[in-house]
């Protein structure tokens, strides 16, 4: 096999492996979010700063860090439509446009591309911050 093809194949396998690990982490994160209670909201309120609270980041084997961005519809009982995993570099970063995320979530739900999950109040109080 040509060395270039072998390197490309190995790179693809590494990406797939990292993706599988991220999926496992995200599954656990979402279970925690959907089971969130008042104590979680209090913990989040106690945390301040530009970075996410501990445990809200996925760190890949190569050291890259990712944070989940919850896309919800913004309705009174917010429905989680999707999660984007944002690569987080060191240094200052810009906050995402929440209105755009709400529009994307609403479209996904309206067109029945996803069924969504109703967030407990503790989870969406934290994300509105």
pTM of the predicted model as reported, rounded to 2 decimal places: 0.64
Determine the Cα–Cα distance for residues 91 and 86; give it in Å rounded to an integer. 14
Under 8 Å CB-to-CB from 93, ≥6 apart: which residues?
A: 50
117 vs 16 pLDDT, higher one: 117
Q: Tokens in use for 44?
A: 């989040």
Give the mean pLDDT of the chain. 74
**Per-residue pLDDT at 114 exceeds 50:** yes
Could you state, in order of their start, the residue ranges of all structural domains in the chain? 3-128
**Per-residue pLDDT at 108 exceeds 90:** yes
The pLDDT tens digits for 27-78 are: 888 888 777 643 343 343 333 334 455 568 898 888 888 888 888 888 777 8
């Amino acid at each position: 096999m040509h060395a270039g093809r072998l390197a490309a194949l190995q790179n693809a396998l590494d990406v797939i492996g990292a993706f599988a690990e991220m999926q496992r982490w995200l599954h656990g994160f979402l279970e925690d979010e959907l089971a969130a209670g008042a104590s979680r909201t209090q913990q989040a309120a106690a945390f301040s700063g530009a970075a996410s609270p501990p445990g809200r980041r996925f760190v890949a084997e190569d050291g890259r860090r990712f944070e989940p961005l919850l896309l919800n519809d913004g309705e009174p009982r917010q429905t989680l439509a999707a999660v984007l995993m944002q690569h987080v570099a060191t240094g200052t970063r810009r906050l995402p446009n929440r209105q755009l995320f709400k529009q994307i979530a609403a479209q996904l739900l309206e067109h029945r591309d996803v069924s969504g999950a109703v967030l407990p109040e503790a989870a969406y109080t934290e994300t509105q911050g």
